[in-house]
Structure 1
Amino acid sequence: MPAAAPDTFREQAAAALLTARDRTLALTGCVDDNDLKAQHSPLMSPLVWDLAHVGNQEEIWLVREAGGRPALRADLDSMYDAFQHPRADRPALPLLSPQQARAYIADVREHALDVLDRTPLEHTGGRGDTLLGDAFVFGMIAQHEQQHDETMLATHQLRRGPAVLAASDPPPAAVDPADLPSEVLIPGGPFVMGTSTEPWALDNERPAHQVHVPAFFLDTFPVTNAAYRQFIDDGGYRDPRWWSDDGWEHREQAGLEAPLFWERDGGDWLRRRFGVLEPVPPQEPVMHVCWYEADAYARWAGRRLPTEAEWEKAARHDPAGDRSRRYPWGDDDPQPRHANLGQRHLRPAPIGAYPDGASPQGVHQLIGDVWEWTASDFLPHPGFTAYPYKEYSEVFFGPAYKVLRGGAFGVDPVACRGTFRNWDYPIRRQIFSGFRTARDVEGVR
């Protein structure tokens, strides 16, 4: 989102909030009340909890904090506080009914849009340190709702029953991956990681800082289902040589044999995708693998996972101008020709589908399709400052969480950019996660 006047930010914020709400209502309006109240996995909240939670956060931050207005439902704050109630415990709470939740979020939205319409905004150059500067708090809440929409999409994937979601297929490959090199050399040297000017960047993306990254090779495309199947067929899941100690222990305890939602069909594999059982598409990026699986595959292939800094350099650095861009293709906001985002499709696109989204060095599909695991723990950038609350990022910093980058097909563009950071436990597989691999350049440190 390039620099814009306050009124433009106001329009962008209103549009982002509307887009998020349309998606929320679509994801919760396609199933009956029993499905909304059910917990489809202990890893996930009931959909009706997410529905009211996005409204509660909007009330807290837009109506009360930004608007300075009295609370509409202060009694809901505790019940919809994600830190007070683990997901597994939420079905036992006296949650709002689906009808009550819809009425509540509609009431909150009416007040929030009135605040947006009436509140003076200032242009701060994307500093991200004032709630109203560049409509930051409105963008933050639009991103928050879209992140819960992605979570609800993952809940739909875990849900058993007939298909209730529909979308067109992604585009076919526009270039033949066989005509491109399998890996790309990313030259060594410094680049600017993070941002201090992106208006709606969240605190963990800040501040911009220079990082030196030695030269390395990176896969041109994410690892595909076909490539991952070679790992399976070669006994990768039964050979501890390829697994870290923690990874092998988890593999044995969890009984991992293939990506989540895969099942054998004779000598082939099927996958369950949003209520549909289908053959695993060989040329799509592999999905629903945990960090330990990605790490094991990379070791088996004689490679490794890229660090977060390597991933971001490949995605943002423009060697011609020696600068960091917002996206691999440049500074323009994502368009359908660039990347598979926004739940336009309910699956990753085959590799080679988005040549217009490639980086200057020729790395494809860094944005969209699948989140990509990196080798890095989730840690603050140098000079990090928590804003506007510690619970968004700071409480998660440390070795327990691994960083994912790039977004997936279920990520809205408002919550996806070259600096955006996602994180999760290395055992998580219900997320739309894949990976690509890297290797060192011999003799370069």
Structure 2
Amino acid sequence: MTEALPLVLNPKRLARDEGVDTWYPYYAGFSSRFASAAIAEAELRPGSLVLDPWAGSGTTLCAAVEEGHRAVGIDLNPFAVVLSAAKLCPAPERLKAVEVARPLARRIATSSAPIDELEQWMPTSAARRVEGIATAIRREFDIPADWTAIPPGAAFLLFALVRAVSDLVPRTRVSNPTWSRPGANINISTRDISRDFVRIAEQYASVNPPRKDLADKSRVVLADARSLPIASRSVHLILGSPPYCTRIDYAVTTRLELAVLGCDAGAFATLRRALMGTTAIRSPRTDEIPEHWPRRLRRVLASVRDHPSHRSKGYYLRNLLQYFNDADESLAEIRRTLTARGQALLVLQSSYYKEHELDLAALFADIAREMGLSAEIMFRMPVRRVMTSLNSKSRRYLDTRSYTESLLRLRRH
């Protein structure tokens, strides 16, 4: 990767996205232009394996296929898996899926499955129609209950249903700007659901379909970045953005989308606790800062523990310990799966606890070096619009904070 990289790349999503980038605005996503340029700069051989351990909206995967490579995306969030797989669906499968959608939407779909999560967002009749269509898609494509294998056509239709519901349901923002709750006076009919489901499937069927030969060799897997189902030393390039340490609770952010996919309250709670970056504390809890962690990380965590503010040495310390333990395990998996000459490019954004900066790129670099990887921060760029600037309760700290987004490169020695 050349030193020109800082001058030509900006990881941030563009204000005017095009093609599949418009399908779903992912808060922490980076741009297709950045992903394509980063992959091209890596100078991979055609057909190399590109991995994103936090697939999100699938930007890395689409760019990898476009650049002539195989791609694997990993994510624990079923909605992220559906969205990424839908984008990778080739044109023939999309067209076949549309032909399935039209008669399916005309059926009087009823379901006995629980719809408590959906009923929080829409009338019971509309919730029943959504669940009925989702169930019909799962049966039509024989999707396993654990979501381990989602055919591209099924993912495309499920995403069309999610997008239709998301467009129809009014949402009210709360103090955490990435969260939302149902708006008032929701009036959605079963006809609205069926009509918009088919309309979106038809509209998106021809939007930037990937090369079929490479899309067929690529996949999206519901799995954990801390335990990658990938063979050791098999990945030529890792390009991704680990969940930021900014209290974005990605499960809560996608709660409506997960409800459309059939995620009930129990499954949602389990997923929320499992995701990296969650605001929920898992068991067992610990207040001990590991002695083997890098000095800079231990110093940052000690400053949080010793901070006089309420709950610093309790909840907030535990939450950060949990986050960096997840980071430690994920970086170990990155090291395991990279080929001898492979590299990982990670987009990381700094954050703060009160007045204390969490320089995520530097902290990840320190952890990686402890594992025997070389680590280099390729560039830093200032970030003006961060989650804290959207949260009125945290704006008082902005005058003393300077946020950056960085690109960290990891390599085997």
Give me the TM-score of the superposition, normalised by structure 2: 0.28
Give me the TM-score of the superposition, normalised by structure 1: 0.27
**Larger helix percent:** 2
